[in-house]
Every structure is written in C-alpha cells, then in structure tokens.
Amino acid sequence: MSSAKDRVFAAAEKISAERRPTVSTVRAAAGVSSADATRYLKEWNEEKQAAGGQVAATPPTILEQAARLAGTVWAEASSAALERHAAVEERWVREKKELTEEVAELVADLDTVTADKESAVAELTGRVEDLERRLAAGVDQLEQAQAAEREATAEAAAAATRAAAAEARAAALQEAHTALLQRITPEQPGEQPPAQSDA
C-alpha cells in the first residue's frame, strides 16, 4: 500500500491538471489526515518550485519545442472546450424549452383548477344564500305561528273567563227566579210545594 506522502503527491498532480490543489481537496482525494495533507502538499509545492527553477535553465531549443507543444495542446484544449461548450449550450437550450413547455402546462392546469374552484365557490355561495333566504322565511313563519298561538291562547283564556262569569250570572238569576216564584205563588193546603229545579 502506498504511503500518505505518495498519495498526497499523486492527488496534487491529478488536481493540478485542472486547478490549484488545496489542503482540503488533496486530503479528500488522498484520504489522509489534515496534518499529512498540509505537510506533504507543502513539500509537493516546494518540489514544483524547485523544478520550475530548473526549467529556467533549460536550453532555448527545448523551451521553444515545449512552447510549441503547449500551444498545440492549448489549441486542442480550446477546440475541445468550444465543442463541449456548444454541446452544453445545446442541451441547456433543449432543457430550457422542455421546462418552458412544462411550466406552460402547469400554468394551464392551474388556470383550469382556479376556474373550477371559482365556479364551485359561486355555486356554493348561491346555495348558501338560498338556504339563508329559506331559513329567514321559516323564522318569519315560526314567529307568526307563535304570535298566532299566543293570541289564540289569550282569546281562549278570555272566553273561558267570560263563560265562567256568564255561568255565575245564570246561576244567580236562576236562584233569584226560584225565590221570586216562591214569593208570588201562594201555597195551597194539601199541596206539595213545587220542586225546585237544579237548573
């Protein structure tokens, strides 16, 4: 198994091909502790700087060839990057179109749901208003019936009172009539006095 230093150096080389390696990226890629990543990344940077100083002493012909090679690599990388950018842009345009269509469908669905909701609310509102009107009419009818019942009860009580008074007057008149008959009708010898009526 490779040492922590080897893993850090390998991770730093790999990361440096795309961006400047840091302690966190090297530690994550090499699977080492922060202390090892810090120490060995520092060593790696120092070796790179030393190697850069050596390159400065490289013969001009080698540097020229390296420059041409770098230019070729850069041109190929730029071309690849442009192609990749074009592909990414095309995919983005396609996804944007699909998302736009999806959003339009969702908006249409929302409009439909909103219209259905408003229709249902209007229908329910109409039914509630109708029920309220019917309830108000029922309350009025109930109040009228209760008033009529109270009036009938009062009239019945008054009629009962009048009837009792009339019955009392009739009884008094009957008694007076009987007494008057006894006073004006002389009693015959041997005759039984007339029987008094209970009426």
pLDDT tens digit string along 102-147? 788 788 878 888 888 999 899 989 999 999 999 999 888 999 989 9
The average confidence (pLDDT) of the chain is: 86
**Looking at residue 190, what DSSP letter applies?**
T
Rounded average pLDDT over 6-27: 94
Whether residue 29 lies inside any domain: the answer is: yes
Whether residue 180 lies inside any domain: the answer is: no
Q: Which pLDDT belongs to residue 199?
A: 47
Whether residue 41 lies inside any domain: the answer is: yes
Whether residue 44 lies inside any domain: the answer is: yes
Domain span at residue 10 reads: 1-57
Distance, in Å, from the CA atom of 80 to the CA atom of 48, rounded to the nearest integer, reads: 28
Number of structural domains in the chain: 1
Res. 185 pLDDT band, cuts 50 70 90:
confident
User: Of 15, 1, 174, 43, which Cα lies nearest the Cα of 182?
Assistant: 174
Whether residue 81 lies inside any domain: the answer is: no
Whether residue 40 lies inside any domain: the answer is: yes
Q: Tell me the per-residue pLDDT of 57-92, one tens digit each, with 9 for 90 and over.
A: 566 687 678 888 988 988 888 888 888 889 999 999
174 by Cβ neighbours in 10 Å (0-12 / 13-18 / 19+) ranks as: middle
Q: Which pLDDT belongs to residue 110?
A: 87
- Decide: 196 and 177 in contact? Cβ < 8 Å: no
User: Of 170, 175, 168, which Cα lies nearest the Cα of 196?
Assistant: 175
Distance, in Å, from the CA atom of 9 to the CA atom of 41, rounded to the nearest integer, reads: 7
Res. 186 pLDDT band, cuts 50 70 90:
low
Whether residue 25 lies inside any domain: the answer is: yes
Whether residue 17 lies inside any domain: the answer is: yes
pTM above 0.75, yes or no: no
Q: Which pLDDT belongs to residue 101?
A: 84
